[in-house]
Chain A
Amino acid sequence: MDSTPIDVTSLSLADGVPLQAYLVVAALLFCTGVWGLINSRNAVRVLMSIELMLNAVNINLMAFSSYLDGQLIRGQVFAIFVITVAAAEAAVGLAILLSLYRNRETVDMERFNLLRW
């Protein structure tokens, strides 16, 4: 594997926050969300993890839009669409959760195994 050297000149803190800092924060947030999505037993916490992942994607979009696409800020428009879809997803997801809870009397993800192979 070739090791590309890390470009240190673009990482200097002299002229504000570098783009890479935002990317690292978004990557941490996304990985936390993925871990929570896999390991949560409570169904509400799974929905929260999905929101965390969507926010990480939004941070990436906004950082790229500000640093690399400063004139046509298309990333901000995409972030607004992502926020819209996230709101719709949260509403439908919580409605599904409520009707599941009404039928199964639990929020444990391990017991929602009706479609288990």
Chain B
Amino acid sequence: MTIATTTQLICFAVLASTVVLGALGVVLLPNIVYSAFLLGGVFLSVAGLYLLLNASFVAAAQVLVYVGAVNVLILFAIMLVNKREDLSAIPGLAVRRLLSGLVCGGLFALLLRVALTTPWALPGPLPVGEEATIRIGEHLFSDYLLPFELASVLLLMAMIGAIVLARRDVFSRDIATGEEVDQALIEKARTPLLLDKSAS
């Protein structure tokens, strides 16, 4: 066993344990802010696993998109809905947790068995290594061109949809001058439609 493979094994062990423990922390910690920061740690460790797999471009995309965008978005959402509320107890919660834990454990056992007993066609073809970014570019502009363009349309749709869903009602009167704003551009003032009926 050479030094290179030993280093690779140690890096993999550290990254994998960070991923698994961080994911457990995300799910189990009671404070959601800690969960959000642990989620960032999980994303960074997954990017490290990609680096171990010779995929520097996807690792960079993972850091940029997940840590830079998704995690920050989740932190913003936590700040915007940050209200300490005592969750009302619901009956059978412990039973539900136990049952879902059993189901997830069974799923894990199934996946473990599949991963360990399948005769994978190893060793496969030689990895391209540093040329991976070039190959991804060739794929994106030749045989995966249609999904690539569809992804751009999907991102545009998601952006417009997020703006429409999350925007607040605008003022019906200009604050500075006091004159009426064009009523066609704004929503009517409305009462919340979905007031909780179970609370009353």
Contacts and interface: CB of A to CB of B under 8 A. Distances in A.
- Same assembly: yes
Interface of A: 4-7, 10-11, 13-17, 19-25, 27-36, 38-45, 47-49, 51-52, 55, 58-59, 62-63, 65-74, 76-77, 79-81, 83-92, 94-99, 101-108, 110-111, 113-114
B65 A38 contact: no
Given A31-B104, A55-B46, A98-B77, A76 B27 contact: no
B74 A44 contact: yes
Nearest to A68: B124
A36 B58 contact: no
A10 B120 CA distance: 9
A73 B132 CA distance: 7
B117 A59 contact: no
Chain B's interface size range is 35 or more
Interface in B178-200: 192-196, 198
Contact of A44 (B61, B78, B88, B195): B78
Contacts of B147: 81
Given A13-B1, A88-B158, A25 B196 contact: no
B20 A29 contact: yes
B105 to A, nearest CB: 7
